[in-house]
Amino acid sequence: MTLLEGSVGVEDLVLLEPLEEESMLKNLQLRYENKEIYTYIGNVLVSVNPYQQLPIYGPEFIAKYQECTFYELKPHIYALANVAYQSLKFRDRDQCILITGESGAGKTEASKLVMSYVAAVCGKGEQVNSVKEQLLQSNPVLEAFGNAKTIRNNNSSRFGKYMDIEFDFKGSPLGGVITNYLLEKSRVVKQLKGERNFHIFYQLLAGADAQLLTALKLERDTGGYAYLNREVSRVDGMDDASNFKSVQSAMTVIGFSEEEIRWVLEVTALVLKLGNVKLSDEFQANGIPASGISDTRGVREIGEMMGLDSKELERALCSRTMATAKEKVVTALNVVQAQYARDALAKNIYSRLFNWIVNRINESIKVGTGEKKKVMGVLDIYGFEILEDNSFEQFVINYCNEKLQQVFIELTLKEEQEEYNREGIPWKKVDYFDNGIICNLIEHNQRGILAMLDEECLRPGVVSDSTFLAKLNQLFSKHSHYESKVTQNAQRQYDHTMGLSCFRICHYAGKVTYNVNSFIDKNNDLLFRDLSQAMWKAKHPLLRSLFPEGDPKQASLKRPPTAGAQFKSSVAILMKNLYSKNPNYIRCIKPNEHQQRGQFSRELVATQARYLGLLENVRVRRAGYAFRQGYRPFLERYRLLSRSTWPRWNGGDREGVEKILGELSVCTSEEVTFGKTKIFIKSPKTLFYLEEQRRLRIQQLATLIQKIYRGWRCRTHYQQMRKSQILISSWFRGTMQKKRYGKMKASVLLIQAFVRGWKARKDYRKYFRSGAALTLSSFIYKSLAQKFLLGLKNNLPSTSILDKKWPAAPYKCFTTANQELQRLYHQWKCKKFRDQLSPKQVEVLREKLCASELFKGKKAAYPPSVPVPFHGDYIGLRGNPKLQKLTGREEGPVLMAETVRKVNRGNGKTSSRILLLTKGHVILTDSKKTQAKTVIGLESVAGVSVTSFQDGLFGLHLSEISSVGSKGDFLLVSEHVVELLTKMYRAVLDTTQRQLPIAVAEQFSVKFKESSVTVRVTQGPRGSGNGKLGCKKKGSHGLEVTV
């Protein structure tokens, strides 16, 4: 075994010195306060409940303990589970792990940790994982139906459990078998103050949905049920609703069908509803007391849910049928008897339901009979109990612990003897307390307490707990481990703690006083045959199967075995099972009664240590040799104590160990014995002496290592500093020379520059002053120009083309440059603006530009036309297909279509015409007819004359060679004269590549046939240009137009 440096206290109580109860408690407390909850007694593990989650579990710790032997690391439950699993897997030895302790000591958690470790380290695979999951999921189901809150523990197991996990030859789990012992079914009908009924009742009411509660005829309030403690409905840190979902999920994983889960919940609801069946006093006709059900609603709901006849159930609860070989007698039950029958039925239903659940789990996880298997058993059973009032349950629990203590002592001594024989060491008989006399006192077939109890239950006549106690007093009056008031009086002893209805047994863990009240009833565990038959007649499949004795065909007058006989038989089977396996022990201890972390009650722990027989365990272990270890690990640990074996030993392991012990003068035959593969040391003092010498030697070696290391470090540091100094010196000298060379070079260059400058100045001295003014003026001008340009850059106007602002030139010399820059900037803005325009917008602007070039500053009608867009079509040409035919397809689009007025050549009157301008012609037609009157080719248009007024009069001059020209020119009036003439100008330019002459004058001449007429335009008194146009003919060659 390795003694770890820095360990808290003694990790193995076998090495405790001195071996006393006080020193053992002090060691356990020291380790507990430092969160070291595990301690060894040889290969026995002592576990103190920390009441908190410690960071010592999980995959990381599982991997660590899987790779190490039992004593290599700190004490841990994983180490014990690993030893058991490795022995099962590689040595082919069946194992059992016995977990004992008080309620609240952590037995259930310990069994979970063992199972989780085994599940983590065994094989992998889909089938294996399924089996592991089923085994692990059996825990929440059994906890829900078998655990309850007690004063000592919020999750106390109220039954004993033994699980055999079966493995194949590779160490992979195949399945398992669960055996349960002595469910505390009295809790179903009654709980102490501050305690709860079994968890499943509260989980069902809290976690079931409204639909399920309605189907089960239940209400969510726990205060409405007589079997549930109204004071304690919730437990801190426990979520009943969530746990109910977990239980349902676990049952599904194990293999329960939806129908089976529903059956289980219905039977559970039945137990709750039985507690609400109220019984009242009644009297028969002859005055004999009887009983009846005051409110039949509960019985009726039970009948509806279970398929029972409510009348028959009421009769079975309130009466009893006594059957003999010849006749049957029906006896009415009074209220007390009826309540006893009701409670007995509820307890039996729940107990049998629990057994059915265990058997159903076993069906799912059982292994085929043909497979060869290895077995690891895990026993989670109640520890030794001494309460203020000890009854039949404590009696059988303590009897079971007596048997387990007997197994522990015998198997421990047997294991010691086998190891001694293997190592060739003579075995010496060990003196120890043999509790076989106590076991015989309880279990002897003819003269044991259980046998007397069964005999009293079967005896005809008046039978009571007092007659049973009298028989015990008579039979065991001189037994050394039995006491009662009668035996004490006979020996003239006075003990005020001993009651008249009590007896006392001196167990291995101490004296326990039992009250015989209810021993007879609890041992009989009677259920009236009427109730069994009523349950068997139910149509509910599960409830019917729980009461096979109710079948009339299987009816038997034979009395069923008593509770004590059944438990004795179960314990005998368990002991036989344990003897066939290699045992591993976990002793669980509760540190305080308040379930508080960090609190350690010495009185409470001392009591449990006595119950568990820890000191006795240590004494048995130390009866021979307190310490044993293989030669190789012993040599590896202590070889530094001998100069012969340190630092290297080339001989055998045993010779090396003998060499070490010989040089230390501890190799005496009384203290040390050499086996075949191990060394045995009798006293812990010798081991502590070796450890102390090893500690001192390690300090010496540490000092030596530190000395050598410091010397090496100083030498290395000096060599590094010397190399660094040489390197720094060389770099420094080189740098200084480089700097000196640089200064010399700079000085030479400076001297050369000065000489060259002096020579240059000498040669060109006469030119210096003549060019100085030019140089200065050039520099000043460049500086001013630079300042001007930079200032202009920072004060540029906006990029809008309408913005005409521009900074003024700071000096007159920059006026021309400033104007040119302004022009360039404006052109850039215009180009940027044009680049953003669409082709259509560009075309519109080009027309406007052309109009500007033709009429800007020349005609008064131009300014109003600038903001007005050019539409082109003012007569709705697109909606008039007849006019469209006049243009022809080859003409292309119509550039201008509007209604104009034609001035008559003869009388000066005007008539309306439609003017169509295309890319090739000017077409004039009557507005009432659809035939073209005049078609003028653009190449025939010689020029246009307009006035400078705001009128729309213009003369259209034609060339003489055209076909229309012989008739003369046209004098027309247009409301959009600027747009019309602009479009005509561009069309002529595009078609004939010539510019159309447009003359602006108030007097112009037009040709009418062969004569010429002078048109003189005058402005009327209004001068607005919007009035009616008036024409007067002045002779044969004159026409006066007033606008």
Q: Which residues are known to be catalytic?
A: 103-104, 108, 153, 156-157, 383, 385
Q: Is the dihedral of CA 55, 61, 64, 65 positive or negative?
A: positive
CA 756 to chain centroid, in Å, comes to: 86
Q: Three-state DSSP class for 801? A: coil
Peptide bond into 647 cis (omega under 30): yes
At residue 239, φ and ψ (nearest 5 deg) are -100, 100
C-alpha distances in Å from residue 873, one per residue of 515, 850, 879, 988: 125, 19, 11, 19
State the burial class of residue 95 (Cβ atoms within 10 Å of its Cβ: 0-12, 13-18, 19+).
buried
Partners of 1006 in the β-ladder: 1013
Report how many helices (DSSP H) and strands (DSSP E) the chain contains, helices first.
31, 31
Residue (of 523, 514, 395, 398) closest to 455 by Cα position:
523
At residue 383, φ and ψ (nearest 5 deg) are -85, 180
Both structure tokens of 403: 């048997």
Rg for the chain, CA atoms, rounded? 61
Alpha-carbon distance 348 to 563, whole Å?
A: 12
Q: What is the dihedral of CA 286, 288, 294, 297, to 10 degrees?
A: -80
Alpha-carbon distance 797 to 819, whole Å?
A: 14
Count CA atoms within 13 Å of residue 899 on its CB side: 9
Alpha-carbon distance 283 to 957, whole Å?
A: 145
Query: CB of 987 within 8 A of CB of 919?
Result: yes
Q: Cite the DSSP H helix spans in 366-458.
A: 392-423, 436-443, 449-458
Alpha-carbon distance 693 to 641, whole Å?
A: 7
Alpha-carbon distance 379 to 401, whole Å?
A: 12
Alpha-carbon distance 137 to 254, whole Å?
A: 7
Q: Three-state DSSP class for 700? A: helix
CA 400 to chain centroid, in Å, comes to: 44
CA 954 to chain centroid, in Å, comes to: 93
Amino acid occupying residue 861: A
Alpha-carbon distance 459 to 558, whole Å?
A: 14
For residue 460, the surrounding DSSP H or E stretch is: none
Annotate 913-926 with b (16+ C-beta within 10 A) or e (fewer): bbbbbbbbbbbbbe
Residue (of 878, 866, 817, 834) closest to 979 by Cα position:
866
- With vertex at residue 160, the alpha carbon angle to CA 159 and CA 163, rounded to the nearest 5 degrees, is 130
Alpha-carbon distance 583 to 569, whole Å?
A: 21
Count CA atoms within 13 Å of residue 1007 on its CB side: 15
| Residue 801, C-beta contacts closer than 8 angstroms, at least 6 positions apart | 826, 829, 830, 833
Locate tokens 């106390």: which residue? 156
Both structure tokens of 725: 């100094």
Residue (of 935, 938, 931, 1000) closest to 964 by Cα position:
935
Query: CB of 195 within 8 A of CB of 229?
Result: yes
Q: Is the dihedral of CA 1024, 1028, 1034, 1039 positive or negative?
A: positive
Query: CB of 187 within 8 A of CB of 167?
Result: no
